[in-house]
Amino acid sequence: MKRMNLLPQEERVKASRERGLIWAILILVAVVVVLGLVYVKYRSDVSSKQDELTSIQQEIQVVQAQIAELSPYAVIQNQRTAMTDTAKSIYASSVPFSILLQELSLVIPENVRLQNLTVTVPPAMLPGTAMLEAAPAAATSVDVTFTGQTEEHRDVAEFMTRLGLIPQLMGITLTSSTEAASTTGTTTASSAPAATYTTFTVTAQLRPYTQPPPTTTLQTEAVQ
């Protein structure tokens, strides 16, 4: 049997409006509930982040206090590092006389006898020298002087050639080489000619540093 709506037209329109209003109210309530849930969630997140920020700030304050307590030790460490670097630089730029003599003992010919060895460190190689500009001008200076005896002039030339193998030496120069008769022993008219020997003097320069020697003055920092 077909259903028939016996309500008047005005009542049907009123009922439709009431249903629409109810649905609108329900949708509005649902939106308000959702917005409330979102607000509660974000408020909870903000509170959590705020607590996390407070905790991080407290940790930062603790670390800053530790840094302030350890700052004197940082100054001491910096001084220690500076002193170590200075010591290494001084050692690297020092004239290695022990090595120089050891190398000399390896290159000197067997028939060469040294009588005197003089070494003078030039001012440009002393610790605390600011610049090495004066090193080229002093290229003609004499830093090392060898004086000795040998049998022939050829032995002097061999000695100078071997000195060129020592890396610390440069500008090897023959100053003098004279031959004289030996005064040892007695000779007669029928005896053989008196033996001769050669007295020589050889000079050289110490090879300059590739960088200025360090100063031994350490800049200290005030400890708070």
Do 22 and 67 lie in one domain? The reply is yes
For residue 191, tell me if it sits in a domain. no
Per the domain annotation, does 217 fall within a domain? no
Of the candidates 169, 82, 90, the residue with the CA atom closest to the CA atom of residue 125? 90
Q: Can you give the CATH number for the domain in which 170 is found?
A: 3.30.70.2830
The confidence score (pLDDT) of residue 160 equals 93
**Could you give the number of structural domains in the chain?**
2
- The reply to whether 66 and 114 lie within a common domain is no
Report yes or no on whether pTM surpasses 0.75. Answer: no
Helices 97-107 and 153-163 sit at what angle, rounded to 10 degrees?
A: 140
Domain boundary among 92, 108, 136: 92
> What pLDDT is stored for residue 135 in this prediction?
46
pLDDT at 100: 85
pLDDT averaged per 10 residues, the chain (length 224): 60 72 87 89 87 90 87 86 79 72 90 90 68 49 88 91 90 89 54 75 84 55 46
Same domain, 200 and 117: yes
Query: Quick one: 82 and 103 in the same domain?
Result: no
Q: Range of 173's domain?
A: 97-183+196-206
Same domain, 147 and 107: yes
Are 48 and 144 found together in one domain?
A: no
Q: How far apart are CA 58 and CA 47, in angstroms?
A: 17
209 neighbors 132 (Cβ within 8 angstroms): yes
pLDDT of residue 2: 59
Residue at 213 is within a domain: no
Contacts of 26 (CB under 8 A, 6+ apart): none
177, 106: one domain: yes
